[in-house]
Amino acid sequence: MQLFVNDLTVMDFSYLCPERGMVGESWIVDVILNGDLNEESMVLDFSKVKKQLKYLIDLHIDHKLLVPVEHAYTQLERDNKTDYVKVDFLRPGGRSIHLNCPAEAYAFVYADNVTMPSVSDYLKDVIATHLPDNVEGIELMLRAEVINTPYYHYTHGLKKHDGNCQRIAHGHRSKVVVFTNEQENLELEAYWAQRWQDIYIGSSEDIVDETHVCFTLSEGDFSQHWLFAYESSQGRFELAIPQAESEIIDTDTTVECLAQFMANEHQRLAPQLAYKVLAFEGVGKGAIAYA
């Protein structure tokens, strides 16, 4: 017997990619459980599937940075006293990425690349130990939202957030809708999709110099990188990321601030027009701003 639940949850996270760098993603999770009927004539109560499995998936993937442990670029150093992990992702050509964060800010995927199959295998191993005896196996189908208009992948960190959004490297795959004088403008939507393709969006007030981070380069310096650091309730977060793969704004990087940034940017370039921007944060949620 099989039990299925579609749209169980949406995982918003980022991952390290050898070619693209730091990539923000939003994947929808569908699940199938294989097993015998229990004493309630069920494979598993739907309420337990939705509550327990969603909790486990969110706990181990959502709002984390996924690191491909087996890739040649990946170097890890864990401080067992503080439970901090330093990650060096040594992409060539001045495109390396470096982090020092609490261990809970990462998910370590034992594969050469972070893909839907490798993440599915990672999650199945995590979930298997929490299933009742009558459930013989689980299938996880990960998929991206079908978006027929322009979209972008972005990563950020919200240091003022009480929850997991404070992690300095988590992200989303997001569409954007722009109206000019109440008419949808596909050209401007495509502009943002190109400008923010695989982007890290950082706040200018979190930029620091090399004396405020713990990582170093074996050759050269960080002149091609932005360095960020901040303290929040989960601890201290540090990041070095290529300037060519970043956008710096003067506010926090909440979706509300990003929507207003986009609207203001359009009005700066063409002040005679009125703009409305719907900036999504992953699937089915976001903010609306006007200028």
Q: pLDDT per residue over 53-75, tens digit each?
A: 888 899 999 999 999 999 999 99
Q: Where are the alpha helices (DSSP H) in 213-283?
A: 255-269
Q: pLDDT per residue over 176-229, tens digit each?
A: 999 999 999 999 999 999 999 999 999 999 999 999 999 888 777 899 999 999
For residue 129, name the pLDDT band (cuts at 50, 70, 90): confident
For residue 100, name the pLDDT band (cuts at 50, 70, 90): very high
Q: pLDDT per residue over 136-180, tens digit each?
A: 778 899 999 999 999 999 999 999 999 999 999 999 999 999 999
How much is the mean pLDDT over the chain? 92
C-beta separation of 26 from 140 below 8 A: no
Q: Tell me which of 31-35, 123-127, 266-270, 281-285 is least confident.
A: 31-35
Q: pLDDT per residue over 14-39, tens digit each?
A: 999 999 999 999 999 998 877 666 65
**Which position has the token pair 């050269």?**
220
Q: Give strand ranges (E) for the chain.
A: 2-17, 21-35, 65-68, 74-79, 84-89, 97-102, 106-109, 135-144, 151-156, 170-180, 183-184, 199-203, 225-232, 235-242, 246-249, 275-280, 286-290
CA angle 81–85–89, rounded 5-degree value: 155
Closest by CA to 235, choosing from 167, 157, 134, is 167
CATH class for the domain made up of 2-290? alpha beta
C-beta separation of 278 from 192 below 8 A: no
C-beta separation of 289 from 260 below 8 A: yes
What pLDDT shows up at residue 41?
A: 53
